[in-house]
A and B are shown apart, each in its own frame.
Chain A
């Protein structure tokens, strides 16, 4: 299966397999990105350095694991609801969706949970322990997970992971133990350029086409600065030590952030680059 695209513009959603049974379901704007993101770099403290910079795009992703039990990591936003449901139905066919796993309750991550629940009424909401008012966020009846708890899907086992860097109070990341698929929600993502046909590419494919390590590092920096405004109050050495400890604990073969292109392997090359991006974000 290659990349399948449903709809266009503000509503378009693509689905692409990362492994035979883990699917990337993602929205980005493509040609319309220039309308929304033409000033993406203008709020940076060093905005002048980005004058005439590239026109970038910013994906909003969910991930679907198809197994004896199927699980969706996040849901996408209501604006793309119809096409997200089409993508899920395309992957699952007659199979059921059993779990709707939510990293955090912002609309781009959890906004289609009620629609998915209506389509797959047997699906169980799964989200992070610590919150008590999930009904306020449209997740009535959610089952709560603590870090380390695992959902057995058959061939896949999805572990709830204590997140390092969050933009929302109650958040979780995920690690799939069979494939080494690590989901980091809002952290460690790059940007891509529709004009270079980079939409829906894996990061190694972008690199083959010219995307550089320097650009990747800068993208991680810029996105972290926007996503985590609190970084300026942190200790960079503490942050980098925590990143090293995280990847020592979770043997990551696939790095899947919500808002970037998917990294397939070679984490020894990418982790130093991501750490440097974080250091630079803290220093901005």
Chain B
């Protein structure tokens, strides 16, 4: 399912069913004129559909970069196919990641570059800023912010389960937006460490990101994009973190 989120940013991907509802497994595409950028590349289970949708969107253009929020297979499982079709694509990962062992030996290591949180890069005139991920399910997880559109790509952070009726709908197309319980159910399993986390210590670090960046849209891999009303959704996420801790 291809959907335009804002400007030249699109989401594509699939949804898998579980006991909590559906879990999105998304790929984001920043068209960026002649310098397209992929954010993650989806699961190998969805290879055919994902590659068809990427190709449909790109319409013959060659992606210049792929940013991997982290290296788990639902995020990097199609890297082999991406590299096969676009062998010169450059892969960007967090500088905490060890590409030689955390990424399947698909591309030459010289095509994989590491960027630290806080750094910005320019891709064909587009500024991307790498952001410390407050919610990491791997030490090498990282978020990235697109200054042009105000989209913050958050990997597994801000993920949520959704009902069949919600599939493919942005938060502003769902009455009331994404509820706290949706965040809570997802984060409890994706971030098992949250049982240790004291909200009074965690919340200021999360708030600092949104104080420093003019985030207009949150784009998780496991949930359709959260468009608008960012303060409400950040507050719900914080409440979910507190509720996970309080349930211990």
For B137, give its contact among A36, A133, A168, A233 (CB under 8 Å): A168
For A107, give its contact among B95, B103, B137 (CB under 8 Å): B103
Q: How far is the CB of B232 from chain A (nearest CB, A)?
A: 23
For A132, give its contact among B18, B71, B104 (CB under 8 Å): B18
Among residues 94 to 153 in chain B, which have CB atoms less than 8 Å away from a CB atom of chain A? 95-96, 98, 100-105, 116, 136-139
For A60, give its contact among B101, B104, B116, B191 (CB under 8 Å): B101
A133 touches B138 (CB 8 A): no
Judge if B193 is at the interface, Cβ distance under 8 Å.
yes
Judge if A10 is at the interface, Cβ distance under 8 Å.
yes
B45 touches A106 (CB 8 A): no
Instruction: A111-B104, A169-B189, A171-B192 are known; give 8 further A-B pairs, CB within 8 A.
Output: A78-B105, A79-B100, A108-B101, A132-B19, A168-B137, A232-B201, A235-B198, A238-B196
- Given A36-B98, A136-B16, A137-B73: A234 and B196 interface contact (C-beta under 8 Å): yes
Nearest first, the 3 A-B pairs at minimum CB distance are A132-B18, A233-B201, A169-B190
A226 touches B192 (CB 8 A): no
Q: How far is the CB of A239 from chain B (nearest CB, A)?
A: 7
B198 touches A234 (CB 8 A): yes
Q: How far is the CB of B93 from chain A (nearest CB, A)?
A: 13
Judge if B5 is at the interface, Cβ distance under 8 Å.
no
Q: How far is the CA of A168 from the CA of B71 in the complex (A)?
A: 12
Among residues 214 to 243 in chain A, which have CB atoms less than 8 Å away from a CB atom of chain B? 226-235, 238-239
Q: How far is the CB of B242 from chain A (nearest CB, A)?
A: 12
Q: How far is the CA of A166 from the CA of B139 in the complex (A)?
A: 10
Over the window 101-115 of chain A, the binary record of Cβ atoms lying under 8 Å from chain B Cβ atoms (1 yes, 0 no) is 000011110010000
Over the window 180-211 of chain B, the binary record of Cβ atoms lying under 8 Å from chain A Cβ atoms (1 yes, 0 no) is 00000000011111101110011001000000
Q: Which residue of B lies closest to A39 (CB)?
A: B95
B202 surroundings in chain A (CB, below 8 A): 230, 233
B193 surroundings in chain A (CB, below 8 A): 165-167, 228, 230
B77 touches A136 (CB 8 A): yes
Judge if A43 is at the interface, Cβ distance under 8 Å.
yes
B74 touches A230 (CB 8 A): no
B138 surroundings in chain A (CB, below 8 A): 106, 167-168
Number of interface residues of A (CB under 8 A): 42
Q: How far is the CA of A7 from the CA of B88 in the complex (A)?
A: 29
Q: How far is the CA of A133 from the CA of B159 in the complex (A)?
A: 15
A78 touches B104 (CB 8 A): yes
For B192, give its contact among A78, A108, A138, A166 (CB under 8 Å): A166
Q: How far is the CA of A80 from the CA of B100 in the complex (A)?
A: 10
A137 touches B198 (CB 8 A): no
Judge if A272 is at the interface, Cβ distance under 8 Å.
no
A167 touches B137 (CB 8 A): yes
Could you jot down 25 A-B contacts, CB within 8 Å? A79-B100, A79-B101, A79-B105, A80-B101, A107-B71, A107-B102, A107-B103, A111-B104, A131-B189, A132-B18, A133-B23, A136-B25, A136-B43, A136-B74, A167-B193, A169-B137, A226-B96, A226-B139, A230-B194, A230-B197, A230-B202, A232-B201, A233-B198, A233-B202, A234-B197
Among residues 17 to 43 in chain A, which have CB atoms less than 8 Å away from a CB atom of chain B? 27, 36, 43
Q: Which residue of B lies closest to A132 (CB)?
A: B18
Q: How far is the CA of A214 from the CA of B98 in the complex (A)?
A: 27
Judge if A123 is at the interface, Cβ distance under 8 Å.
no
For A230, give its contact among B25, B77, B136, B190 (CB under 8 Å): B136
Q: How far is the CB of B192 from chain A (nearest CB, A)?
A: 5
Judge if A142 is at the interface, Cβ distance under 8 Å.
no
Among residues 165 to 215 in chain A, which have CB atoms less than 8 Å away from a CB atom of chain B? 165-171
Judge if A135 is at the interface, Cβ distance under 8 Å.
yes
B44 surroundings in chain A (CB, below 8 A): 138
Q: Which residue of A lies closest to B199 (CB)?
A: A233
Q: How far is the CB of A217 from chain B (nearest CB, A)?
A: 20
